[in-house]
Structure 1
Amino acid sequence: MPESYRPHLRKDDDKDRTASQSVTTNTSVGHAKVQDILDQKKGQVVTIRPQQTLHEAVEILRDNRIGALPVADATGALLGILSERDIVRKLADTPGHTLPHKVEEVMTRNVETTTVDEPLVTVLRRMTDGRFRHMPVVDGDALTGIITIGDVVHFRLNQLELEALQIKQLIVG
């Protein structure tokens, strides 16, 4: 019996087709690390010495429009961190006599730090659980940067926008 005629169908070409996009490639969440934020910040870390006064610290915070200062020694080793919250607590304890105090008297000594290789999701969890907004980035004893909870949230929002765009492109084609 003769075979009936069948027209050429698109699926006949499937073996020759390639795809540059797939659901997996367009929706996979990258494993962002602290280094990804530092790459975007492009700035030197503003620090303060432990012997400086709170008056100097307040001026540095104001002039640089930042909320915390890593406290480092002359070699750059991290000794602590001084945040706006630390200063406010001291203001409440010693009203009118706060600014002459030394940074080392007020700073937080037990500092949570991170490294450039730590995943951002872990850093965000640590910051949220510990209820702090600034985390110094260290390499051994050397201070290499500082990230804020705002940096992490901003980075993640940008990632989510990109993921949404990629999904939309996948749907539209």
Structure 2
Amino acid sequence: MPESYRPHLRKDDDKDRSASQSMSTNTSPSTALVSDALANKNATIITIRPQQTLHEAVVSLRDHRIGALVVTDANGGLMGILSERDIVRKLAETPGQTLPHKVEDVMTSRVETCTADEPLVTVMRRMTEGRFRHMPVVDGPSLIGILTIGDVVHNRLKQLELEALQIKQLIVG
């Protein structure tokens, strides 16, 4: 058959076709950031002052149903973090005499922080290696949120669900 005659083929239409999915878009890893996890949660940061008592801290933890309080100065500057674990340690040291102690005597003052533009996987690794479950998120000197290990796990589960859907779409077409 002469080359000048060729029937119309499906591939002739490919240049006019657009696709919302491709192998590269369906398999490329997206890098979740701390800001992604913060976007899915209440922006309120529950804080306490260093001069307040552990009794006040325990009441606040209970009322807000949280596991840690960010300790700030009068200007909102980060001074430390007080977790349930810190309080339990003090309970073991001073049974029956713990609640009158000041927050500043029990809090963790060397606090690991992160920024909103850090990859979530990096922060998760830092939390796991440091064996802590709460990390304040800062923007320069300003406190902009608190990330919990629960936030990280929730975000990762959402990513896995999306990846499973993308794989299913690749298979089904």
Q: Secondary structure at the match of 1:138?
A: strand
Mapping of residues 69-108 of structure 1, within 5 Å: 69-108=69-108
3-state DSSP of counterpart to 1:95: coil
User: TM-score with structure 2 length normalisation?
Assistant: 0.93
Aligned residues: 172
Question: Which letter does structure 1 place at the counterpart of 2:152?
Answer: V
What are the residue-to-residue correspondences of 1:1-173 with 2, within 5 Å? 3=2, 7-173=7-173
Deviation at 1:170, TM superposition (A): 2.0
2:144 match: secondary structure: strand
* TM-aligned CA deviation for residue 29 of structure 1: 2.1
Deviation at 1:38, TM superposition (A): 1.3
Range moving further from structure 2, 57-66 or 17-26 = 17-26
Amino acid of the structure 2 residue aligned with 1:54:
L
**Counterparts of 1:14 and 1:30 in 2: how far apart (Å)?**
27
SS in 1 for 2:81: strand
What percent identity do the matched residue pairs reach?
Answer: 76
Describe the SS at the equivalent of 2:69.
Answer: strand
State the shift of 1:163 in Å.
Answer: 1.3
- Cα distance in 2, alignment partners of residues 79 and 11 from structure 1: 64
Q: 1:142: how far off? A: 1.8
Deviates most, 17-26 or 144-153: 17-26
* Matched letter for residue 59 of structure 1: V
Distance 1:88 1:42 in 2: 27
Q: Unaligned 5+ residue runs, structure 2? A: none
1:72, distance to aligned residue in structure 2 (A): 0.3
Q: Which runs of 5+ in 1 are unaligned?
A: none
RMSD: 1.6
Partners of 1:50 and 1:111 in 2: CA distance = 14
Shift of 1:6: 6.2
Runs of 4+ in 1 over 2 A off after TM superposition: 2-20
